[in-house]
Amino acid sequence: MEKRYHKPQCDLDGIVRATISRYAMFLGGDTVLVGLSGGPDSVCLLTMLHKFKDDLGLRLHAIYIDHGLRPCEAPDEIAFCDDLCARLSIPFLVRTVHVKTYAAERGMNRQEAARELRYQTYKEVLFQVRGELIALGHTSDDQLETFLLRLLRGAGPKGLSGIPPMRGNIVRPLIETERDDVEEYLDRRRIRYIVDSSNLREDYLRNRIRKTFIPALKKVNPSIVRTTQRTMEILREEERYFDIIITKNLMKLISRKTNSRIELFLIPMETMEKVILRRVLRRAIEETRGLRRIEFINIEEVIDLIKNGRTGDRIYLPDGLRAIKNYATLILTSDAPKKLETLPLSVPGEAVSRECKVVVRASVEEAVVDYRDGKTTAVFDADKTGTSLTVRSRREGDFFFPMGFGKRKKLQDFFVDEKVPRDERDEIPVVLSGTDVIWIAGFRGDERFKVTEGTKRFVRLELKKGV
């Protein structure tokens, strides 16, 4: 018969008090919003904080978040939580979020969407109750599950450091307790709790890890939860040390910075050790607005751009982020690409785009000696162009007859051949006479409007940038 490992009964009150003291989670007089699902962890957390509230000077509120995924079970869970809070004289709130819709709109899985919505709701309700802290019931078993989940997905040291006991205004007083001890504590005191049926389903990877992988590991090492917890503590300590190094390096690299754009000096990064460069780039990317997540492969692509890319090369990252290699800097930006508005251009006259910082100027001349290169200055037959022109950005279906080439060419194909980055194409002025393209400003004119021996009047078009 297989022998089972039996742990001695633990002093859960003492462990939780020691965790609270070790991380200085409460300063006294705090209003705390407690996440309550009715499960053993959250019920244990709420009852313990209620038990400690006078000593710690806490004012407690509890919140149940209905994710809209279990309509048959949620009403009973809400009723259970409401009854528990009534017996403890703790104000109880309920909020509903729409996980399915949120996940579909953002291309996320439901668990990821539920987590984002849950934390958003905690922060909103904390503000409403004028609270200071959010208390959540994560245990060291959650730590182990998170460690294994991230290990299977290829996380680095930061990801493997697990769930922090404190982050911002979120505290986790049960983070150094094991789930078995929590359930034993509640059973011994005859405190009821309920079980979320979704935790029993094995179609979620976390549940499969919990129900099959971890029991197998515990047969090899009964103390696997505590062992992994120590490993994650070491990783968190090392991460704090690395954070200091990364902060110092990043401060030296920043050339310019806004909420959605950061420019970093290239030369130091080209010779920087990859282990530091990865972390510097991740931190820089995290500080740009609009980015939800960044993968290891994305960081490697940026490193390759830095070390092997040419000036002007760029890569496109998730959530609209772009990395652009300039002459002396690397630009990381989530700014939406600019688009040139539609502008009238009289001949003579000028069209000015303040958004794209360009001016297209038109003049009429009786004779032309200097034709220039046709890029920043181009000359056309005035009788063919007319005197009422339009300047705008490219549109689908645009085509022209490139001067010197003669054959019709789609503007899309022209930009591809010219290696114009796609996030810059909407900024390029396209000059038209009626519906016909005359000039792709900065590149080439149209064969149909070129100057011939019979030209009597000339239109000179000039492009000025950065005005």
CATH classification code of 258-333: 3.30.465.60
Closest CA to 142 of 60, 48, 45: 45
Contacts within 8 Å (CB) and 24+ apart, 146-155: 147/228, 147/231, 147/232, 148/209, 148/213, 148/214, 149/205, 149/206, 149/209, 152/205, 152/209, 154/296
> What are the structural domain ranges in the chain?
12-235, 258-333, 343-465
- E strands present in 366-435: 377-381, 388-392, 399-400, 409-410, 430-433
Closest CA to 195 of 356, 325, 40: 40
Distance CA 445, CA 104 (A): 46
Q: Side-chain half-sphere of 418: how many Cα atoms within 13 Å?
A: 19
Which has the higher per-residue pLDDT, 369 or 7? 369
DSSP class of 276? H
User: Where does the pLDDT of residue 1 fall: very low under 50, low under 70, confident under 90, or very high at 90 and above?
Assistant: very low
How far is CA 442 from each of CA 82, 325, 332, 382, rounded to the nearest angstrom?
A: 68, 21, 25, 20
Closest CA to 92 of 134, 63, 132, 119: 63
Distance CA 55, CA 17 (A): 11
| pLDDT tens digits along 120-158 | 999 999 999 999 999 999 999 999 988 998 888 888 888
| pLDDT tens digits along 336-351 | 778 899 999 999 999 9
What pTM does this model have?
0.66
- Summary count for the chain: helices (H), strands (E): 16, 22
Radius of gyration of the CA atoms of the chain, in A: 32
12-235 and 343-465, same CATH topology: no
CATH class (in words) of the domain with range 12-235: alpha beta
Neighbouring CB atoms inside 10 A of 302's CB total 25
Superfamily for domain range 343-465: Phenylalanyl-trna Synthetase, Chain B, domain 3 (3.50.40.10)
